[in-house]
Amino acid sequence: MPLLWNGAVIGWVNASVADGRLLAEPGCVSGAAPRSREFAAAWKREVARLPSR
């Protein structure tokens, strides 16, 4: 699925479930995800919203 930040598509997310656990792995066009606290907090909130089944 696309990874958006501040109104721009900056990459993608591969999400899967293994052994009942959600795995969400980002891929960023620039090679690395933004390092801001805001991005880290938003990432954590969005991953928590994904269903794990």
Q: What is the 3-state secondary structure (H, E, C) of the chain?
A: CEEEECCEEEEEEEEEEECCEEEEEEEECCCCCCCCHHHHHHHHHHHHHCCCC
Strand order in the sheet with 8-18: 2-5, 8-18, 21-28
pTM for the full predicted model: 0.81
pLDDT at residue 8 in the model: 96
Which pLDDT value is given to residue 50? 87
**Which residues of the chain are under the pLDDT cut of 70?**
52-53
Q: Return the pLDDT at 53.
A: 64
Looking at residue 51, its pLDDT comes to: 81
